[in-house]
A and B are shown apart, each in its own frame.
Chain A
Amino acid sequence: MDPNQMQAPVENYANPKTCLFHVLFKGAALAFYILSALFFNSFVIIFVVTVLLAALDFWVVKNVSGRILVGLRWWNEINDLGESVWKFESLDQDSLARMNKKDSWLFWWTLYLAAAAWFILGVFSLIRFQADFLLVVGVCLSLNAANIIGFTKCKKDAKKQFQQFATQTIASRFQSTVQSAFTLV
C-alpha cells in the first residue's frame, strides 16, 4: 500500500518541513544547553535562551506538529461550572489510518528521546550540585513531559472513541438487520 517502500527515506516523510521544525527546537534547546557552558559565563543567558527554545518547542509540538504528523490535539478548558476539563481531539479513523507512518514514528520517538536526554542532564546537574542548572532542566523536562502526557492521553482517547463507535455501529446495524428480517417474515 505504501508506494514509497523502495525510495530513499527522505521521500517517505509526508511533511518534511513540519518534521524539521518538530526536531529543530528540541535539538536547539538541548544543544544550546550543552554547548553554552563552553561559550557563555552568564547563567542568565543560558537560562533564558534554553527555556525560550523549550517553550517554543512546546508550542510547536502542541499546535503544529501534533496536528499534522499524528492528527491529535489536546487542550484544557474551564467549563461553566468552573471546573477544569481536558479536551482531546483526533481525526476520524480513516484519516488516522492514512497518516504517514514515518511521520508518526519520528514524532513519538523524538518526544521520548528529548525527555530522556533532559532527564539525564538533570541527573548530571544533580550530581554536581548545580541548583541553577537543575532549575533549567526541570523547566524543560516538565514542558516535554506535559506534551508526552497530553498526546498519550489523546491517543488513548481516540482509540476508545473509535471502539465505542464501532460497537455502536455494529449494534445499530445488527438491530436494523433483525428488524428487516422480522418484517420480511
Chain B
Amino acid sequence: MSHNDTIPLYQSSQSDIDEIENMMNNNSFQSGPGTVLPAQPPSPIRPSIPVSSSPFVQSNLAPIPPSSAQKVTPVPMPPPLPPSGNSSSSEGSKTIGGSGFGSPPNTLTEPVWDTVKRDLSRIVSNLKLVVFPNPNREDPGKALRDWDLWGPFFFIVFLGLTLSWSASVKKSEVFAVAFALLAAGAVILTLNVLLLGGHIIFFQSLSLLGYCLFPLDVGAVICMLKDNVILKMIVVCVTLAWSSWAAYPFMSAAVNPRRKALALYPVFLMYVSVGFLIIAID
C-alpha cells in the first residue's frame, strides 16, 4: 500500500519520516481520503521522502497565466520546499520535506531555524545556478525551477545601500532611484519578453534578473572601497559583462530566435545604466 522511495533529506528528519509512516499505516484507508496528507509536487528536481501515493489530497488549480498573477515587486515568496540540487528523485509519489503537512505535529514543531536554513540554502543554490558556470545552464528551463524572490530582494537592497553609502550627497534619492530603477526595470523587462511572444514565467524571470545583479553588487562594493576612476571603469566593465553573460541563456531561450536581440538588448541596457550609476557615484 505504501511504496517507498527513500531518499532522506536530512538526518534530523528521519524521525519525521518514521512518524509519517506510522501515521499513514495506522490510518484506515477508506475511500474517503479525509485522512491525511499533502499534495505531491510533481517536479523532478525535488528530493523525495517515503510516502504512499494513494490517499493524498492533490489540490491543483488550473495554472493561472502569469499576467494575471499578482504583480508585485519584489515579492519574496519562497516556496517552502527543500532546495533543488543534485539529488535525483522519481516522479510520482513525493512529498514535501520536513515542513510539509504530512504530519502536522512534527512539522509544526519544526524549529523555525530549519525553515530558515532551507530557504537560505535555496538562495545559495539558485545563485550558483544562475551566476556561476555549471552544466545546468544549458537547459534554462530547469535551472531556475525553484525560483524565489528573497535573493533578488537582498541583492537589490544591498546594491541600493552600497550606492547610497558611496554617495556624498542626496543619499536618500540615490537609494530610492536605484531601488525603483531595478524593481521597475525587472518588471518591464519581463513584460517585454512576454509581449515579444516569449515563454517565460513572470516570477521566474524577476527572480533571474535579480540574481544576475550579484556581479554588479560585487562591483559596487569594490568601487565603494577604492575610489580610482580607472579602476572603477575596469571593474564595472568586467562585472557588467559577467551579469550579461549570466542572463543571456535564460532570456534568449525564452523567445523566438529572430527576436533574441530585442529581448536581450533592454537587459543589457539596464545593466549598463546601473554600471553608469556605480561609476558616477562619488
Report A's interface with B, CB cutoff 8 A: 42-44, 47-48, 51-52, 55, 58-59, 62-64, 67-68, 71, 73, 75-80, 82-95, 132, 135, 139, 142-143, 145-146, 149, 153, 157-158, 161-162, 165-166, 168-169, 172
The docked-state distance in angstroms from the alpha carbon of A80 to that of B76 is: 23
> Which residues of B from 117 to 168 have beta carbons under 8 Å from A?
119, 141, 145, 147, 150, 153, 157, 160-161, 164
Q: For A78, what are the chain B residues with a Cβ–Cβ distance below 8 Å?
A: 43, 145, 147, 201, 204
B42: A residues at CB distance < 8 A: 79-80
User: Given A84-B201, A135-B179, 4 other A-B contacts at CB below 8 A?
Assistant: A44-B172, A67-B104, A92-B35, A146-B72
Among listed B61-69, B260-268, B272-280, interface-contacting one: B61-69
Report yes or no: A73 in contact with B59, Cβ–Cβ below 8 A. no
Partner of B76, one of A47, A59, A84: A59
Interface of A is mostly: helix
Of the residues B34, B77, B119, B201, contact of A93 by C-beta under 8 Å: B34
List chain B positions with a Cβ less than 8 A from chain A.
30-36, 38-39, 41-44, 57, 59-61, 63-64, 66, 69-70, 72-81, 99, 101, 104, 107-108, 112, 115, 119, 141, 145, 147, 150, 153, 157, 160-161, 164, 171-172, 175-176, 179-180, 199, 201-204
Choose one: B36, B43, B59, B108; the contact of A161 (CB below 8 Å).
B59
Task: Give 9 closest A-B pairs by Cβ, nearest first.
Answer: A43-B172, A75-B79, A142-B72, A169-B32, A44-B175, A83-B63, A84-B201, A92-B34, A88-B59
Asked if B63 and A84 sit within 8 Å, CB to CB, the answer is yes
* Cα distance A63–B204 in the bound complex, in angstroms: 20
